[in-house]
Amino acid sequence: MDKKVRVRFAPSPTGPLHMGGVRTALYNYLFAKKHGGDFILRIEDTDQTRYVPGAEEYIIESLKWCNLIPDEGVGFGGEYGPYRQSERKETGMYRTYAEQLVENGYAYYAFDTPEELEQMRENLKKAGVAAPQYNAVTRNSMKNSLTLSAEEVKSRIENGDPYVIRIKMPRNEEVKFKDLIRGWVVVNSNNLDDKVIFKADGMPTYHLANVVDDYSMKITHVIRGEEWLPSGPLHVLLYKYLGWEEEMPQFAHLPLILKPDGNGKLSKRDGDRLGFPVFPLEWKDPKSGEISSGYREKGYFPEAFVNMLALLGWNPGTEQELFTLDELVQAFSLERVGKSGAKFDPDKTRWFNQQYLRKKSNEELAELFIPELEKAGIDVAKFDKEYIAKVCGLMKERATFVREMLEGIYLFKAPENYDEKTIRKKWKENTPEIIKSLREKLAAIDDFSSENIEKTFKAYLEENNLGFGAVLPNLRVLITGVGMGPSLFEICALLGKDETLKRIDTGLEKLAA
Ligand code: GLU
């Protein structure tokens, strides 16, 4: 590649960013970094009616959470700004280009009122046209600068009559471009309509603004969702008509993210229905107040979320599944992005989180676990970091999320209740007696290590001809209050001899009462 790679993520601030949007940002980021290029955040807010307060901040926060930091863009500065289209509009650039297209015969003014447009659609429907369009045929019977006299057009504009600017689609022309993922895309212009490129409110539409900005920001590759593929031919024509064919970026349209059953595009409703987030961060709808869950708040690590997203549509061609962001940058290529939709897998997503949790050091986990302990009412100051880290080391194999390590809360406070099921099934008449004599053996251990505890315990079973099942569940429930958990010997060693014996005594007392 001779030019410096420059790619952009160009969301519209119409609500929270869907995880598909995050994946688009991610692939743009990976592609840029792989080629030593720039990753740009542009906010496409030309449609003021769909603007949602807070959405822009949400987008920026999401990118930061995922560590996909733009080199330029809204909130990040840069020499090609402003990066918000509503601000770019102030420069008059979009209008200038739209008028240039009119002057050169590639676009025209259209004065039709909403009623006239509706009438046209109705007439066509009556005539049997299934999807009526403003196009090369219908434009001839509408009120525009192609059908009205030059004087009338001039006077209407001077009078301040509302008008839009539409692209003048050529008749019967093959429009084609090479998509880096899909190969050649060819469309006959007879199938394309005369899209509005400049609106009556003085704003460009998405199409014009998008092309003008990609050109003026020197974008080399447009990597975006499949839903924009149908806009490709129009954009290609705009580049041509604006005289920018040489600078036209290359296109790559990413496959959809599908529902877990593969049946259609993953939507917010699927998330609600199947109980997984579709948004990176929690989002509160400013109008309805409705809260949608986010991966961050659910306890996912951003690295796990990003790793999962990377593999949703791209494959490295090897068996490797776990990738740091840097490894993804090294391994990524658009050639390995699939054409067909990628099924989202909530279980696999949890699996990724579990892997990342296991990979973290006990000390790192302790830092993340402390706030959870505090929320659970534990006075963390009473425990040293080393102890908390050891607890994490013991609990992490059983957890997918940091907060699940709270299963081991008994390592911070003695149980108040004892698992009824275990008691019902395992507690026998002779249990107190067995536990008491085992307690004496435990009390005699000098070095209260998990190995020594285990040795003592096993020797005791052997001497008394007892099975594990007759003793261990009861001992566990006395010490932890619950029926299951990691190695009880390790739990005892962590608690220390005094606390272990104390818990046995208290438990026996309570259960005898
Ligand atoms: N503003 C469009 C969106 O919201 C961007 C499409 C593109 O990348 O060209 O997805």
User: For residue 466, which amino acid is it?
Assistant: L
What are phi and psi for residue 96, nearest 5 degrees?
-55, -45
Mean pLDDT of 268-273: 86
Residue 274 pLDDT grade (very low, low, confident, very high; cuts 50, 70, 90): confident
Query: In this structure, are residues 393 and 490 in contact, taking their beta carbons and an 8 Å threshold?
Result: no
Q: How many residues does the chain have?
A: 513
pLDDT at 2 over 90: no
Backbone dihedral region of 264: left (phi > 0), alpha (psi from -120 to 50 degrees) or beta?
left
Specify the ligand 1 atom closest to the Cα of 210: 9
Q: Indicate if ligand 1 lies below 6 Å from the C-beta of 228.
A: yes
CA dist., res. 231 & res. 249, Å (int): 14
Query: What's the confidence (pLDDT) of residue 268?
Result: 86
**What pLDDT, in 10s, does the model give residues 80-103?**
999 999 999 999 999 999 999 999
Residue 1 pLDDT grade (very low, low, confident, very high; cuts 50, 70, 90): low
Residue 375 annotated among the catalytic residues of the structure: no
pLDDT at 257 over 80: yes
Mean pLDDT of 251-257: 97
Mean pLDDT of 246-250: 97
Query: For residue 395, what are its two tokens?
Result: 């609990």
Mean pLDDT of 458-463: 97
CA dist., res. 59 & res. 281, Å (int): 9
Q: Which residue's alpha carbon is nearest to atom 2 within ligand 1?
A: 11
Residue 316 pLDDT grade (very low, low, confident, very high; cuts 50, 70, 90): very high
- What's the CA-to-centroid distance between 106 and ligand 1, angstroms? 24
Q: Indicate if ligand 1 lies below 6 Å from the C-beta of 44.
A: yes
CA dist., res. 192 & res. 125, Å (int): 18
Site to probe by mutation for ligand 1, drawn from 228, 234, 251, 257 as the one with most ligand atoms within 8 Å of Cβ, is 228
What are phi and psi for residue 221, nearest 5 degrees?
-140, 130
Q: Indicate if ligand 1 lies below 6 Å from the C-beta of 229.
A: no
Mean pLDDT of 206-213: 98
pTM above 0.75, yes or no: yes
Site to probe by mutation for ligand 1, drawn from 206, 215, 251 as the one with most ligand atoms within 8 Å of Cβ, is 206
pLDDT at 493 over 80: yes
**What pLDDT, in 10s, does the model give residues 32-84?**
999 999 999 999 999 888 999 999 999 999 999 999 999 999 999 999 999 99
Helix (H/G/I), strand (E/B), else coil: 258: strand
Query: What's the confidence (pLDDT) of residue 512?
Result: 78
Query: In this structure, are residues 153 and 165 in contact, taking their beta carbons and an 8 Å threshold?
Result: no
**What pLDDT, in 10s, does the model give residues 115-173?**
999 999 999 999 999 999 999 999 999 999 999 999 999 999 999 999 999 999 999 99
CA dist., res. 501 & res. 239, Å (int): 80
Given 64, 265, 268, 348, which residue is catalytic? 268
Q: Indicate if ligand 1 lies below 6 Å from the C-beta of 133.
A: no
**What pLDDT, in 10s, does the model give residues 369-425?**
999 999 999 999 999 999 999 999 999 999 999 999 999 999 999 999 999 999 999
* DSSP class per residue in 112-175: --HHHHHHHHHHHHHTT-SS---STTGGGGSSBTTTS-HHHHHHHHHHT---EEEE-PPSS-EE
Q: Indicate if ligand 1 lies below 6 Å from the C-beta of 80.
A: no
Query: What's the confidence (pLDDT) of residue 272?
Result: 82
DSSP, res 297: T
Mean pLDDT of 446-456: 98
Better-predicted residue by pLDDT, 476 or 1: 476
Mean pLDDT of 480-493: 97
- What's the CA-to-centroid distance between 8 and ligand 1, angstroms? 10
Report the share of the chain in percent with pLDDT over 90.
96
Kindly give, in sequence order, each residue whose CB lies less than 8 Å from that of residue 473, ignoring residues fewer than 6 positions away.
422, 425, 426, 483
Helix (H/G/I), strand (E/B), else coil: 43: strand
Place of tokens 């525009």: 144
Report all structural domains of the chain as residue ranges with CATH numbers, in order of start. Answer: 6-74+209-257 (3.40.50.620), 93-198 (3.90.800.10), 268-356 (1.10.1160.10), 361-408 (1.10.8.70), 420-512 (1.10.10.350)
CA dist., res. 338 & res. 258, Å (int): 13
Q: Indicate if ligand 1 lies below 6 Å from the C-beta of 234.
A: no
